[in-house]
Structure 1
């Protein structure tokens, strides 16, 4: 990431610096795992990539990232029980394999395998393992990460959020078959929007450590929520 020569930092870069500073303060001197989750199309992947690019300029520790999308189940497994919102939430990811290849070895200081499945090609992949330092910070990015069965895996969490009226068009722009389906209630969005709505209810047990409101990609808002304030349970 390069900064403007004048030294002026746009709002997005200022927020990224602040967010990264908060993440770097998590479990100092130890390996730490931070989950960055939010709905499809909100801008998580780009945000995390920018945090990792920024880290060498401001961090005194190794910062790595892994995307949960690299741990999809094969398409046949994902669709075996149908293509409903419920199966999207329940059957998309192989969390046991994710723990086996990433979380457990990371905590133990061993190499991690950053992905095992190419969801677009629907085939297994074998990337080179990645070495981790003693105080590395691992950022895990993807959807559904604050679900109850994963909540205890994270040292901190960041919810990246925006209204459905924003995230649905952004997400659908990547898929020609859903072109023009910008209304969240369009039947073509039922599986994905419905899955996110199920998740919002499930994730109430694990309120986020931080929230980034990303309706405006260039002017995100960083929020440190009060975990006792119920309004935050409705985000994401």
Structure 2
């Protein structure tokens, strides 16, 4: 089948992957795939990793920041607000020591340390990667100030809150993601049940607005995503 007959989503994925694998060719590189809960980051990264052997000419591996949650007692020690969601959810030092530093040094990485669903520590086998591997780190809050310098490029996956909240709730209904039970009819971003997550994302956007992503994928329509290469001098992209 010729490329002209491929579905729009696959064409966008091929274009995005070609941009990603061009980052620091011949050496290891790390790209953050950032975006709110429910936007479709995990699916998108999984598709890129699956597509890579066919079109990339370079090993592409992924790690989720969800494997580096703090234990629940730490995440909620200061309350369960949007501020604590943003500030206390993740153990970035563990991410650095288990993934980012060893990857840069050419060593094996440990892809996760904590299972957020069971709230148990994990001890997975280390993963050895090629010398020129491309590592995609996907998750929320990845353009926060303290992570500057960790990424060679960033990809923001975005969609309106009305879309991402509903998707996140649907995922929760399937036993994944958020930490509490959900009820039907809570898909309004302004509903009190969503306050911790929505307010955390709003706080994050304020702090990330001066760090323009390298690429943006508008994932509102999963079958027809849009790939955008933003102009860093256009500040509207900083509010995504």
Q: TM-score range by the shorter chain?
A: over 0.9
RMSD between aligned residues: 1.0
How many residue pairs get aligned? The number is 231
Find the counterpart in structure 1 of residue 218 from structure 2: 213
Any stretches of 5+ residues in structure 1 without a counterpart? Answer: none
Superposition map of 1:37-186 within 5 A: 37-176=34-173, 177-178=181-182, 179-186=184-191
Deviation digits for residues 109-158 of structure 1 (CA, Å, limit 9, x no counterpart): 00000001000000011111110111110000000000000021000000
Contact 1:207 1:233 survives alignment (8 Å):
yes
Asked whether 1:200 is paired with 2:205, we answer: yes
SS of equivalent to 1:104: helix
Are residues 1:191 and 2:196 paired?
yes
SS at 2:171 equivalent? coil
Corresponding residue number in structure 1 for 2:233? 228
Q: SS at 1:111's partner residue?
A: coil
**CA–CA separation in structure 2 for the residues paired with 1:173 and 1:65:** 24
| Moved segments of 4+, more than 3 Å | none
User: Any gaps of 5 or more consecutive residues in structure 2?
Assistant: 174-180
Aligned partner of residue 231 in structure 2, secondary structure = coil
Q: Which residue of 2 aligns with 1:21?
A: 18
The superposition leaves residues 33-75 of structure 1 with CA deviations (integer Å, 9 ceiling, x where unpaired) of 0000101000000000000000000112111000000000000
Shift of 1:203: 0.6
Matched with 2:178 is: none
1:165 to partner: Cα distance: 0.8
Deviation at 1:6, TM superposition (A): 6.7
- Return the alpha-carbon distance in structure 2 between the equivalents of residues 215 and 182 of structure 1: 15
Q: Is the 8 A contact 1:148 1:205 kept in 2?
A: no
Q: How far 1:199 moved relative to its partner?
A: 0.4
Calculate the TM-score normalised by the size of structure 1.
Answer: 0.96
Equivalents in 1 of 2:135, 2:2: separation in Å?
32
More divergent stretch after superposition (5-14 vs 206-215):
5-14
